[in-house]
Structure 1
Amino acid sequence: MNIRNRTPLHRQPVFRVLQMQLLVTLITAIVCASVFGIVAGYSGLIGGLIAFTANLYFALKAFRYFGARSAGAIVRSLWSGEMGKQILTAVLFALVFVGVKPLEPVALFAGYLLVLGIGASALLLMKKNLRH
């Protein structure tokens, strides 16, 4: 028996990570725009939004179930969430490279990688939530 997680996303620990990813996306866009120009600014913003959108999809998909009785459903939802995240990332990058002109690839990948770094340090961000 699969137990559906009815907790809204904004009440789950992953929400703090998503908030930090959006904040880093905006900061990256502002810094790139002020230092390197407007093209670098929106390129950094797009890169961050690609990572954020893919991670949001993963969070919505992966945290659908909870409890020991739902172990199989949890594994399936994590796997499908990760595969969907990878496909979504590839599609979004392809759309950006085809549709956005002019584009600053260095800023695009910098925004993407900075937001991925927030996801990689998620345990540090969530550690504070576990103490309360």
Structure 2
Amino acid sequence: MAVRTLNRPPFYRLPVFPVLLAQLLVLLLAAATLYGVRGTVSGYSGLCGGLIAWLPNLYFAHKAFRFSGARAAQAIVRSFYAGEAGKLIMTAVLFALTFAGVKPLEALAVFGVFVLTQLVHWFTPLLMHTRLSRP
């Protein structure tokens, strides 16, 4: 059986793209707000926290939507598991690199924007009034 990857839509047409775009916008706005209100260290700390959340989500979306079609069901499931495992490992590595390599760092800004960016995917479908399960 051949696994279909050629007939999939481009990345910007996938149902997850608006969520990723909203996460990127929120993390950039939060980092800019922190920069304006609390200073440079808070700004780049918030940016680091947002990127720690967004980059693994981008990786997962790329892995999860690589295959399409009913014949690729096993490949899709394997891809979802691999994407989730990679996302968790990537998140842990990015946190470790950030706390080990970025000095000075404001931990509250890192975790605050990280959590805010993670919460976006819960609320984006409600705010956009779209169904993400449409064909």
Q: Does TM-score exceed 0.5, indicating one fold?
A: yes
Q: Which has the higher helix share?
A: 1
* 1:63 equivalent in structure 2: 65
* 1:3 equivalent in structure 2: 4
* TM superposition score normalised by structure 2: 0.88
Gaps of 5+ in 1: none
Alpha-carbon separation, structure 1, partners of 2:44 and 2:113: 10
* 1:97 equivalent in structure 2: 99
Alpha-carbon separation, structure 2, partners of 1:53 and 1:27: 16
* 2:130 equivalent in structure 1: 128
* 2:23 equivalent in structure 1: 21
Structure-2 change in CA distance of 1:35 and 1:46 (3 Å)? same
Structure-2 change in CA distance of 1:17 and 1:33 (3 Å)? same
Matching residue within 39, 42, 45 for 2:44 = 42
After TM superposition, the runs of 4+ consecutive aligned structure 1 residues lying more than 4 A away are 129-132
Alpha-carbon separation, structure 1, partners of 2:79 and 2:13: 19
Q: Is the 2:22–2:124 contact (alpha carbons within 8 Å) kept by the matching residues of 1?
A: no
Amino acid at match of 2:39: G
Q: Is the 1:17–1:126 contact (alpha carbons within 8 Å) kept by the matching residues of 2?
A: no
Gaps of 5+ in 2: none
Paired residue total: 132
Q: Is the 2:64–2:83 contact (alpha carbons within 8 Å) kept by the matching residues of 1?
A: yes
* TM superposition score normalised by structure 1: 0.90
